Amino acid sequence: MDIFAYALMVGAVVALVLSRNVPRAWAWICLGIISYTLSAFLHDANIPYAALFGVVTDFAVAITILAFAKRKWETAVVDCFGFMILVDLMWTANMIPSRYMYVTILELANWTALIVIGGTGILQEATDGGRSAGSRLSRLAGHAYRYLRKDTAYPRWWRHP
C-alpha cells in the first residue's frame, strides 16, 4: 500500500466518525473499503485484466447500495461507483493514456464518494435534521441536507414485485 491508500483509509475512518448517526452509511463505507482493498490487491498482483475485477467488485457494491438505498445521497454514492466502473472499462479498452491518470481519476471518485457520505453526516449534525434557522450559511446547509435526505429517485426495485 502506498501513501495514497493510507490517506484514503484515514479519510474512510474520518467519514465513519462523521456519519456515526447516519443509518446505513457505515455499511456502505465498509463495503467500499472491502472493494478498494480487494481491487488494489488484484492490481498489485499484476494479473491480466485486473481492471475487470475492479469492475466486478465496484458493480457488487453499487448494486447492493442500489437495492437497499432509501435516500438521495445513497444514489449519489452509487453514481460514484458507476463512474469507477466506466473508468475501469475505459482503462481496459486502452482509452486512458497513462496509468497515472487512471489511478488519479479512481482516487478522485473514491474521495467524492467519501465526501458525499461524510458530508451528509456533517450536515445532519450541523443542521439538527434540516431544521436550522439563523445565518444564511446554516439555512443553505439545511437546504443541502434536506436535498440529500430526500427519498431516492430510484425505487427500491429489488424488493418489489
147 belongs to the binding site for another protein (CB under 8 A): no
The DSSP secondary-structure symbol of 151 reads B
Closest by CA position to 12, among listed 35, 37, 30, 38: 30
129 belongs to the binding site for another protein (CB under 8 A): no
Q: What grid cell was written down for 4?
A: 495514497
Query: Which residue's CB is nearer to another protein, number 59 or number 111?
Result: 59
CB atoms closer than 10 angstroms to residue 34: 13
Query: Which residue's CB is nearer to another protein, number 100 or number 157?
Result: 157
82 belongs to the binding site for another protein (CB under 8 A): yes
Q: What grid cell was written down for 25?
A: 452509511
Spatial separation of the C-alpha atoms in residues 50 and 111, rounded to whole Å: 21
What residue has cell string 426495485? 157
Nearest distance in Å: CB 109, another protein:
14
85 belongs to the binding site for another protein (CB under 8 A): yes
Spatial separation of the C-alpha atoms in residues 40 and 67, rounded to whole Å: 25
Helix (H/G/I), strand (E/B), else coil: 45: coil
Nearest distance in Å: CB 96, another protein:
16
Ranges within 27-56 binding another protein (CB under 8 A)? 55
Q: Which of 14, 63, 95, 137 binds another protein (CB under 8 A)?
A: 63
100 belongs to the binding site for another protein (CB under 8 A): no
Nearest distance in Å: CB 154, another protein:
5
The DSSP secondary-structure symbol of 69 reads -
Residue ranges binding another protein (CB under 8 A) = 55, 59, 62-63, 66, 78, 81-82, 85, 93, 154-155, 157-158, 160-161
